[in-house]
Amino acid sequence: MTDLGRACVVVASTRAATGVYPDKSGPILNESLSGLGFQVSEVVVVPDGDAVGEALRAAIGEHDVVLTSGGTGITPTDVTPQQTAPLLDYEVPQIPAAIARFGVDKGIPTALLSRGLAGVAGRTLVINLPGSSGGVRDAMEVLAPILPHAVSQLRGGDH
């Protein structure tokens, strides 16, 4: 398997972080990224809010890809996009658009309520994913074919 670089998963879930229930999305993302050839250095589970930004700041620059799970909806506590936006040098808006479109095409109209962002911070690709296990599985179906090419481009590879 090709080594695509280092990846980190940040799960934004106050209930999982406080032990109310176990996180399910982090292990799915860990397995998916590892299967693609990434070295997943860690899965960090943090409460919604400022802790998401802290985890992102720690991961950016140390990883080629950082995927977040959770905190992308429209409830008052869903603030992952607000924590992500100021850290990005530029956005790649078609990635979250494709993830939402994939969900809608599967018959999940609420996928349109996701406010997840994708963008580049330095040479790190950061992508916000939904928090549900089904949502992250769907997102990885969209991301699997493009992540190797994206990392290659961020390293200066040709189109």
pLDDT in tens, 24-82: 999 999 999 999 999 998 899 999 999 999 999 999 999 999 999 999 999 999 999 99
Residue 2, pLDDT above cutoff 80: no
SS3 (DSSP) at 69: strand
When pLDDT is cut at 50, 70 and 90, the band that residue 117 belongs to is very high
First to last CA, the chain: 22
**Structure pTM?**
0.96
Domain 6-155 coded CATH 3.40.50.740? no
What mean pLDDT do residues 96-104 have?
97
**In angstroms, rounded to a whole number, what is the distance separating the alpha carbons of residues 133 and 131?**
7
CB 48 within 8 A of CB 15: no
**Number of Cα atoms under 13 Å in the Cβ half of residue 34:** 11
